[in-house]
Structure 1
Amino acid sequence: MWNWNYALQILPELLKALQVTLLATCCGFAIACIGGLLLALAAASRWFLLSTVSRWLVEFIRSTPLLVQIFFLYYTLPKIANISLPAFAVGIIGLGLHYSTYMSEVYRSGIEAVPKGQWEAAVALNFPKVKTWVTIILPQAIPPIIPVMGNYLLVMFKETPVLSAITLVEMLLTAKNIVSESYRVFEPYTMVGILFLIISYPASVLIRVLEKRLNLQPGQRSTGKQAQESLSSKKEVGA
């Protein structure tokens, strides 16, 4: 049966672990946003080698499980390259690299939705490549995909329990440690699920509100749809 006194007793530990979970999610998401943009730009490059390597890297990472990648970074990399990182650093790097491949597809869908006339206008005005991307293409490509990026942020938040496999003390590992001491499973795991729900559900509502406020045009809606298909493909390929 549920014991409120015990639940309130372990709540501070779970809330402390929640801070680690949120920090790992935000840092990993920042890496994913930057890495995804770099991969998308590399894939769009006219340099054949750069674009080929970028596409191969995206397919390789998307086709292997997140857990295996994190194990490789935490356990194997120190042996083959003598690079040893703390569990938290490995966790955010692993999350960031894994989801940067999905974010690159989201960026790509936004870039491809920019009308060709915008590129032609930049060429006609003799804009440099960098200025074309920064002032014309990206400002039009990114706003339509913001809701999908928010969805990926939620997915990353809900996948942070994977990091407990490398001893990162987030919410799930904290709950396991509590259970190993008290042998009470009901309250710790239930509270972890409730805390995830308390964060995830309001965030998903805010994302839907943001999507409506963007008031996307028909072409932009198709961009969001393409990016959403990229998100759903994650379930097919495997996390």
Structure 2
Amino acid sequence: MNWDWTYVREILPRLMEGLAITVQATGLATLLALFVGLGFALMRRSDNRWISRTGYWTVEFIRRTPLLIQLYFVFYILPDIGLKFSALTCGVLALGLHTSAYMSEVYRAGIEAVPKGQWEATRALNLPRFRTWREIILPQAIPPMIPALGNYVIMMFKESALLSTIAVLELMGTARLLASETYRYFEPITMVGIIFLIVSLPTAIALRVLETRLARRVSAGS
């Protein structure tokens, strides 16, 4: 098991192509998770018991089942009922929906942290519900959520390696393909780990700095 730098230089361009697919999948899944997660959080807060219960059990079902099972369901089972998507689209859907269930709890905690006086003020001013959420509640609730939401984005980036199981040639899928072509697993798999570390570690540090600054701003404001 000898490290071959010449081989690493040969495979690096293809690994970078795989990284581009990984970033694309993570970005699209993030957008999906942010919007669907907010929808789940609003469903959980609904005054309608059926909507609230539906939101709760949907989130619980998604959180209590493995992402790999959800990937297989979207990729292998949905085509049997007439819903056929590309492998990348299936990966984005499964990854985004899975993470949205976790993000919904972040949204819910952030919304509940908004002081009750803000809600009472909007009712006293007779503001429409849409304006209340758009102009009063969400602008106050979202900034403190950013570090936690960012952590889930990093989690999605790392879990995107599972997309290789449904034939998406992202970073891990490209490494597995290279290894199967040359029967050298040491360099491709190790490079994948290094690339994931190079991308995720600085992002995690930046989120920690942002979290500290937001905490200081809240303390100064109070």
TM-score range, shorter chain: over 0.9
Supply the AA of the counterpart residue of 1:132: T
RMSD: 1.1
Aligned partner of residue 114 in structure 1, secondary structure: coil
Please state how far the C-alpha of 1:182 moved relative to its aligned partner: 1.0
Match of 1:47 in 2: 48
Aligned-pair identity (%): 51
Q: Distance in 1 between matches of 2:195 and 2:120?
A: 50
Please state how far the C-alpha of 1:107 moved relative to its aligned partner: 0.1
Q: Distance in 2 between matches of 1:176 and 1:95?
A: 20
> Any gaps of 5 or more consecutive residues in structure 1?
221-239
Match of 2:72 in 1: 71
Whether the aligned pair in 2 keeps the contact of 1:144 and 1:216 (CA below 8 Å) is no
**What whole-Å deviation, never above 9, does each CA across 1:63-102 have from its counterpart, x for those lacking one?**
10011011001101111x2111000000001111111110
Q: Distance in 1 between matches of 2:169 and 2:38?
A: 30
Please state how far the C-alpha of 1:111 moved relative to its aligned partner: 0.5
Match of 2:207 in 1: 207
> Any gaps of 5 or more consecutive residues in structure 2?
none
Match of 1:87 in 2: 87
Q: Distance in 2 between matches of 1:57 and 1:51?
A: 10
Whether the aligned pair in 2 keeps the contact of 1:18 and 1:171 (CA below 8 Å) is yes
Supply the AA of the counterpart residue of 1:72: F
Aligned partner of residue 159 in structure 1, secondary structure: helix
TM-score (norm 2): 0.96
Supply the AA of the counterpart residue of 1:16: E
Whether the aligned pair in 2 keeps the contact of 1:88 and 1:168 (CA below 8 Å) is yes
Match of 1:34 in 2: 35
Q: Distance in 1 between matches of 2:71 and 2:188?
A: 25
Please state how far the C-alpha of 1:213 moved relative to its aligned partner: 2.3
Pair 1:14 & 2:15 matched: yes
Following superposition, which runs of at least 4 residues in structure 1 exceed 4 angstroms of deviation?
A: none
Supply the AA of the counterpart residue of 1:47: N
Q: Distance in 2 between matches of 1:217 and 1:195?
A: 35
Q: Distance in 2 between matches of 1:48 and 1:55?
A: 10
Please state how far the C-alpha of 1:212 moved relative to its aligned partner: 2.0
| 1:150-161 map, 5 Å | 150-161=150-161
**What whole-Å deviation, never above 9, does each CA across 1:10-56 have from its counterpart, x for those lacking one?**
00000000000001001001100000001101111111111110001
Q: Matched residue pairs, number?
A: 218
Supply the AA of the counterpart residue of 2:152: Y
Supply the AA of the counterpart residue of 1:179: A
Q: Distance in 1 between matches of 2:113 and 2:138?
A: 11
